[in-house]
Structures are given as structure tokens and as C-alpha cells.
Structure 1
Amino acid sequence: MNCTGSCSWKIYVKNGLVTWETQQTDYPRTRPDMPNHEPRGCPRGASYSWYLYSANRLKYPLMRKRLMKMWREAKKLHRDPVEAWASIIEDADKAKSFKQARGRGGFVRSSWQEVNELIAASNVYTVKTYGPDRVAGFSPIPAMSMVSYASGARYLSLIGGTCLSFYDWYCDLPPASPQTWGEQTDVPESADWYNSSYIIAWGSNVP
């Protein structure tokens, strides 16, 4: 789904095809005297089967045509992928050329081997040139999907990169408490509304 939440879903399959999906209710209960909190999941996740079989679904990597041409030419001149990337990014005209093409489309089909090599080369170049903390990224909220969470966090930890908080940029999550205290999603969830006598919904993306 290209979603950062990693919410759990029940997927229903008929004759080898995903037919529909429902929210997974595998999160632990908070207290027995309160209603069970709603499962995670949004309308986008609930339309997963539509995305899965859509004609517009991407099934292979894409690369900007201008960058691909530069990359392939650089690979012919340099056996080391890091040196090939350096020959592009350190050339002001070449760097400006492919950066100015951003936002204008022009993507063409590539291979996983090619894009992975380019990404790895650019990461190694950045680490060698500017230091590992110049490589930044984020991982999804763990939810029930530890593999998707751990892959990004583990990679950044191993190279000494900067792991950003989910709350640094996510517009509908409360940033103050996690950024101050460091916890993730450790805020009262909606089941606690049951205990309230008065609710003010102010400045939050609450339905």
C-alpha cells in the first residue's frame, strides 16, 4: 500500500485472488472495563484489493530517463559504482540537469539490480564524503509488522544514519509528546473517550 502505518489486515482470498479485506483486531486490550478500541486501518487499506489488481499498479522500478542515461554512461567509464555516481554528482552541470527534471515526469522502466546499485552507490558516496549522519530516513510505526519496521531502522543503525521520528512530518499525529519524551504512539487512544464527561476536539484530524 506504500503506507507508513503498517496496520494489520485480514485478507480474504478466493480461487487465488484477493477479494476483499477487513481490519485486523489483533491488538491487545487495554482494560476489560472499557470498549475494545477500534482496529487500525483506513479506507486506503480497505481498498487494497483494488490497488493490487489495478492497471496503474507499479510492478517494476522506474528511473528518471535523464538520470538513467547519465548513470549508464558513467558505468561504462567507471567500474566502481561509487566512482560512477561521483562523476555525476560532482559535475555541476550533470547534477543540475537531472535535479531540474524533478517534478516533470519522464520516468522509464529500469531493473531492480540497476536501481539498487545506484541507491547503494549514492549512499556510500554520501557516507564517505559527508559522514553517515547525512543519510536520513524513517521506518513505519511498528504496529504488528516488525519486519517492515525493523528493516529501515536496522539499516540506518548499521550505517550510522539518522533515523527520523514518524512525528517529524506526519500531519495528523500528535508531535509534542513523542518529540519531547521519545515514545512512539504512547498517547491516550479513543477507547479512553469512554471515561470522559467533556470532549474538546481542537486542531486535530478527528472524524
Structure 2
Amino acid sequence: MRRSTALAALTACAGGMDLLSVTALGGVFSGITTGNLVHAGHGAGTAHWPLAATAAGAVAAFATGAALASRTMGPSHEQTRARMRLQLALQTTVVALFAAGWLLVRADPGTLTSPLLLGTAALAMGAQSAWARQNGTSTTYLTGTLTAAVADTATGQGLARHRWDLTRLACLLAGATTTTLVLVWWAPAAALVPAACALAGAALWWPCPHTRT
């Protein structure tokens, strides 16, 4: 239960990060690579090179985060609780750095700071995605989660085993919604929402025993 709640909190973090990326950092995602590939294709097809470059940069940063996290954790048979904790601490720190940068520019990133913030966000989400994968789930891409729940319902198998999957979907929505409300209320504080979710997820997961997947 504690582990599942931690992963739900990290999913809310991903929702908030994507919301800020889409609305203020070039119109692309920080954690949804397939969406960014579509944006890159659109940019290339319409000769909208800034969009193509922004989307491609986000994909590259995401992949870098996933690669660095995977190197930190090591192969599945070499993973330890200490390595998983180290990676969790690192990615939480990157989210905190993103929030600090967002506050520093007062939610109004310029030509130079916007790509830096987007790269930081995508780096964090790539790392989080790789870390969550070693916990047997995903916190950044949930299309397959929804597909599985709908398929089981349509075939009469029910939703019981998808309880936490659906919780993560709800948390993704809640993270994006809450971040939006804060963005409207006081924009510089908006990045504190995903940062708080990341910190909560880390605090919840920290005491959990390590299990290899």
C-alpha cells in the first residue's frame, strides 16, 4: 500500500510537470515522449523548426534522464535498496531544481531559460520513468494502463485488479489540475505542486523494502 501510494504521488508529479511544460515551455511535454515525437514530426512537416527542435530536445533530455537513472540503478540483478534510494534522491533533487528555476524566473521563462527548464523537467521525468519501471509500473505514460482497464471491463473481468492503476490515472489528472489552479492563482508557485508530490512520493517509498521486478 505504501509503495503504491508513493507511485501515485509521483504520477501526480508527472501530471504537474507536463502541465507546466505544455503551457509555458514551448507547448511540448516533459514526460510523454510519443506526444513529443508527434510534435517533432508536425514541426518538421510544416517547417516549424522551433517546434521541431523543442520537441526533439525534450525527447533527448528524457532519454538522457532514463539512461543516467538506469546506469545509477544498474542491471536488475545488481540493483540494491541503496541504489534505488540514491536514484530516487537524485531525481527528486532535479524536480526541486526545476521548481527553484521556475521561481527564479517568476514563471516567465525567456528565450534561454525556457529550454533549460524544459530540459530539466524532461531529464527528471525520464529518470522517474526509468526508476518507476524498476518498481513494475509507470508514472509518466499511462495509455496502456487505461487500455488494460477498459479491456478487462469490456470482457467482463472487472476492475478489481486495476484499482491502483486507476488511482494513478486520477492522480495524473489531479496533479495537472492542481498545478493549473496554482498557475492561475500565483504562477511562480505552480512548480511547487509537482515538487511537493515528488517529495511526498520519495518520503513514502523510502522505508519500503527493496524488491526486484
Q: TM-score, normalised by structure 1?
A: 0.29
TM-score (norm. length: structure 2):
0.28
Larger Rg: 1
Question: Which structure carries more relative contact order (alpha carbon 8 Å, separation 6+)?
Answer: 2
